[in-house]
Structure 1
Amino acid sequence: MDQERKRNVGNRYLIVLLLVVSIFGCKDDEKTVVEDIVEVVEEPKEIIEFGFNVQDYVVKRDTIRKGDSFGEILERNHVGYPKIFHIAEKAKDTFDIRRLQIGKPYTLLCSKDSLETPKCFIYQPSLEEYVVINFQDSIHAYTSRKPIKYVEKTATGVINSSISQTLEEQGLSPRLAYKLADDIYAWTIDFRRLQKGDRFKVIYTDKYIDDTIYTGVHNIKAAYFEHNKEPFYAFEFVTDSAKGIIDYFSEDAKNLRRAFLKAPVKFSRISSRYNLKRRIAVYGFKLRPHRGTDFAAPIGTPIMATANGTVIDSRRRGGNGNYVKIRHNATYETQYLHMKKRKSKVGEFVKQGDVIGWVGMTGNTGGPHVCYRFWKNGKEVDPFKQKLPEAKPISDSLKVEYLKFIEPIKIRLDNIHFLEDVFEEQNQPEQTIKQNNNLISLNH
């Protein structure tokens, strides 16, 4: 018992000693060291968006809704109309605030106080572009774009059913299939009749906004498609830098496309063909010739120029509704009817594949479609019965430059190995090879 009492007393003395040391510190000649515990607090990192450190503000994000206007948005966030009018007047030379579109996102940067008064209005008409109306000090407005990043990649694939399914199984963008089928090999390979075992390899570029937002395949630099054991090379090459014309050529400089696309809209069906003997029950079976080809497509579907040319007419008129007409050369003209909205203006040069408007139901039409009319030597004809010209061949002066340009790209393309070839070289079992035939090589 005495021994336990002594131990308790000793513990009390030890506690007192530690308290004294902690309060008064230790002398230099004492060996006891008491270290202060210092809590390290990291400074918050800046988060830059639209050129602002958003941590300096209360950030409010929303989308333009039906009935919204610039004034309505600011007014319900405690900005008075005299100031709103002053802001709009100052900003009008840069951006017309009446152009806000339903569904487009906007951001308010507000003060960090109880009022949370807006200091800046940011509107995003597209994923890349944004408009800043800054009124926290002086009022100024400007447009800018988010940083764009292009990442070059390579891919190989083996067709088991369709190219779209092959890419989907391997987690790649279907845009890769569309570009191969429509932009490059539309006149060379019939993608509806691909064979099992056909294979391809591609060098392409993916596009990212702000390093994080993936916006799809930007372009295909080079491709190799093996169809029915026959190889088809394709290389991207700029033939007219002033007009921005880009074509795809084979390894021996032959143009892979024709002068005209087969259709002005993608993923559509022909609902009515060119027919000079057409009779319609609604009109008492009277002869009503149809001098165009109707392509049915949902309202808002982009309508493309089928060939390079200059817009010679763009307006709304009678039964044609909204339409655009293009002169391609001294021989050919095309017209696109019943548009919901026109994009191209008279005098504008458009390239094959450029969007010139959107499918609608303006004029005399029973459903959403584009009526595609085709002129040859001033006479409307059926484009599907014409022997359409090939695209303009590469000039002799450019051919030497082209062959030199594609030489290193072709070497790189040839050195991309198909996976089944790699497995065969490694003498892997056939079952393993079959399992890996559904894979794709993807190099960043």
Structure 2
Amino acid sequence: MLKKVLLVALAITVVACKKEKEEESAVKTAQREVLKPIEIKEFGFNLNNYIVRRDTIKSGDSFGEILAKNNIDYAKVYKIAEIAKDTFDIVRGLRVGKPYTLLCSKDSLQTPECFIYQPNSVDYVVIRFADSIQAYKEKKPVTIVEREASGVITSSLSEAIISKNIDYQVAYDLSNIYAWTVDFFRLQRGDRFKVIYEEKYIDDTIYAGIGNLKAAYFEHNNKPFYSFKFQTDSVNGISDYYDHEANTLRRAFLKAPLEYSRISSRYTMRRFHPVQKRWKSHLGTDYAAPHGTPIKATANGTVTKSGYTSGNGNYVKLRHNSTYETQYLHMSKRAVKVGQHVTQGQVIGYVGSTGLATGPHVCYRFWKNGKQVDPYKQDLPSAEPIRKELKEGYLAYIRPLQLRLDSILFDDEQEEFITSAE
């Protein structure tokens, strides 16, 4: 009997010890989990594995100087830049005020292993050089949220947009969409608008600007104008805005290729050239504007020339159809290549003073049937409506958007609705 009691007691003791060890093990595991650092991921990297250094590009900074300050010799900097330039020209592409991140080794040397540059809030460029050199572009995950808004003009479109706490980009987009339909310098008090547009957010919380403006309604002098964005070429990703009857809101050509401060010289058969110091014809229109101002294609077309000559400087030439061509001279930088298709309003370069130029401007030249002419004296045709084979699909696509626009209330209508409901 005593033997049996002793065995039972021993068994209880063994079980108790085992349970105690299991509890100790569980506590230690929990402690390890608590002590384990939370994984921080950004740009596709686990930042816990690096010493992270963040900064912005300062005036006078260069890629070489940034790495040299962090103990990377110039020979390696040159090699990195040469390999990376097919992806991103890191030597010329850095802009003051833009953020960058250095991922450095977690040792006593803290040697940089990766350089990450953010030209905007969404895109980033990664250049890795710990072992082999790699360069690639990525985008942060972006969430799209659709918004609806309306407003009434009391003084200007921009004032009406800002008063509703809407991103100013919406005002810019509306002025572009209706550039040939509404005279924004002669808006009337009481003119009004409605918009359906997209906002972009990084990580669902960080605002990253405006996406597509999907549909709009603008009422000018009591006349309504609808506009809907529709993709007409899925291969080249070409979209444009059309009204509720599938007519385009654009004319064939913009009035000017940029936002300019003044016309410094018009098309003339006799002008005293400021550089060559002699009288000669000037078969273009000069638009003076600050250095770096974006130059836009005045109509859809294909790039036939993109290069440099001693007279033209950096220039681009576009063929729009069998009748019309345009050319843009004296650029500081070209933004398109030969053979590339461009859409009306797309940036094709930036204002400069290259070639035979005394100051920053763009010389805009216009051809009709192979002959240079004055664009201001041309009776330019309206742009073509949507293609017949796309019209039925377009009208079906815009139907729910038009219903949504019609259901958006203006402020005074909202007050009437609330009053009647009470």
TM-score (norm 2): 0.81
Change over 3 Å in CA distance of 1:139–1:317 after alignment to 2: closer
**How far 1:44 moved relative to its partner?**
5.2
Deviation at 1:75, TM superposition (A): 4.5
Q: Which residue of 2 aligns with 1:301?
A: 293
Matches of 2:402 and 2:345, distance apart in 1: 26
Kindly report which structure 2 residues correspond to 1:32-431, keeping only aligned pairs within 5 A, or say none: 45-64=38-57, 66=60, 68-70=62-64, 72-78=65-71, 98=91, 101=94, 103=96, 104-134=98-128, 141-182=135-176, 184-266=177-259, 268-278=261-271, 287-427=279-419
User: Structure 2: where are the runs of 5+ without partners?
Assistant: 1-29
- In 2: Cα distance, 1:282 partner to 1:370 partner: 15
Deviating more after overlay: 152-161 vs 393-402: 393-402
Q: Is the 8 A contact 2:122 2:208 kept in 1?
A: no
C-alpha distance after superposition, 1:402-425 (max 9, x if no partner)? 111111111111111111111123
Pairs aligned (count): 388
Radius of gyration: which is bigger? 1
- C-alpha deviations, 1:316-372, integer Å up to 9, x for none? 223322111111111101010111111222222222122111000112223211111
TM-score by length of 1: 0.78
Alignment partners' CA distance in 1, 2:334 and 2:380: 26
Identity %: 60
| Unaligned residue ranges in structure 1 (runs of 5+) | 1-37, 429-444
Change (3 A) 1:61 1:290: same
- Tell me which residue corresponds to 2:10: none
* Equivalent position SS for 2:389: helix
Shift, 1:394, TM fit: 1.4
CA distance in 2, matches of 1:365, 1:87: 36
SS in 2 for 1:131: strand
Structure 2 CA distance for partners of 1:268 and 1:204, relative to 1, 3 Å: farther
Deviations 1:110-156 (A, max 9, x none): 24454433343323344433333445577655432222222211110
Contact 1:64–1:100 (CA under 8 A) maintained in structure 2:
no
Q: 1:56 to 1:235 in 2, by over 3 A?
A: same
Shift of 1:208: 3.4
Change (3 A) 1:140 1:232: closer
Deviation at 1:294, TM superposition (A): 1.6
Q: Which has the higher contact order (CA 8 A, sep 6+)?
A: 1
Moved more, 368-377 or 309-318: 309-318
One-letter amino acid of the structure 2 residue matched with residue 315 of structure 1: G
Q: Structure 1 CA distance, aligned partners of 2:152 and 2:229?
A: 22
Change (3 A) 1:90 1:218: closer
User: For the Cα contact (< 8 Å) 1:63–1:102, is it kept in 2?
Assistant: no
Q: Is the 2:200–2:210 Cα contact (8 Å) retained in structure 1?
A: yes
Distance in 2, matches of 1:128 and 1:356, equals 22
Letter aligned with residue 322 of structure 1: N
- Residues 69 and 100 in structure 1, CA contact (< 8 A), matched pair in contact too: no
Report the secondary structure of 1:338's partner residue. strand
How large is the Cα RMSD of the aligned pairs? 3.2
In the alignment, the residues of structure 2 paired with residue 408 and residue 322 of structure 1 have an alpha-carbon distance, to the nearest angstrom, of: 46
- C-alpha distance in 2 between matches for 1:133 and 1:268: 40
**CA shift in 2, pair 1:397/1:265, >3 Å:** same
CA distance in 1, matches of 2:216, 2:258: 24
